[in-house]
């Protein structure tokens, strides 16, 4: 019998659940705890702590807003700039075959954190859905999330 090793899942299982917004509190936490890759004046980019795939990024405005229409023009432009930059970085560093970008507005649309807008950027590879996800309801992430954070952060240092 072979074992699937995913040590970061135990932290999630044992973690005390809080009402705090992960997007609002991320900039105040230690880099490893927050998984922040970039923090600008208006927006942040961080790794999804419970990803669908390796290098699954989240981009959000720093202000706690649930609706697109609540963003000002500067925030909207900054978020689009970071979406574009993030896609370029992922293409350069991990060379995915494709990328899913999604924004879920409201719980009915699938938002796990409905009170704070955030976009998912999920790298995809041909064949990344296999028997583990289909039969076992289990995903396999090939790289530890902290190693991914360490690899991606330098590509966000000079975007201002």
- Domain positions in the chain are 22-152
Rounded to two decimals, the pTM is 0.77
CA-to-CA distance for 110 and 113, rounded, in angstroms? 9
Superfamily of domain 22-152: HIT-like (3.30.428.10)
Q: Which residues pair with 58 in a beta bridge?
A: 46, 120
Catalytic residues: 118
Which run of H or of E encompasses 33? Answer: helix 31-34
In this structure, are strands 57-61 and 43-47 parallel, antiparallel, or unpaired?
antiparallel
CA-to-CA distance for 109 and 31, rounded, in angstroms? 30
Stronger pLDDT, 5 or 74, i.e. the higher one: 74
The mean pLDDT value of the chain amounts to 83
Per-residue model confidence as pLDDT tens digits over 41-73: 999 999 998 888 889 999 999 999 999 999 999
């Amino acid at each position: 019998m072979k074992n699937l090793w995913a040590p970061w899942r135990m932290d999630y299982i044992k973690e005390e659940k809080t009402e705090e917004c992960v997007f609002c509190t991320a900039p105040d936490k230690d880099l490893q705890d927050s998984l922040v890759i970039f923090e600008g004046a208006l927006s942040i980019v961080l790794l999804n702590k419970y990803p669908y795939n390796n290098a699954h990024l989240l981009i959000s405005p720093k202000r706690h807003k649930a609706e697109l229409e609540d963003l000002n023009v500067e925030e909207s432009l900054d978020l689009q700039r970071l979406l574009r930059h993030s896609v370029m970085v992922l293409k350069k560093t991990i060379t995915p075959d494709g990328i899913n970008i999604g924004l879920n507005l409201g719980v009915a649309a699938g938002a796990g954190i409905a009170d704070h807008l955030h976009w998912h950027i999920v790298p995809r590879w041909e064949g990344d859905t296999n028997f583990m996800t289909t039969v076992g309801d289990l995903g396999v992430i090939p790289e530890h999330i902290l190693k991914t954070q360490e690899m991606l952060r330098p590509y966000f240092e000079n975007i201002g």
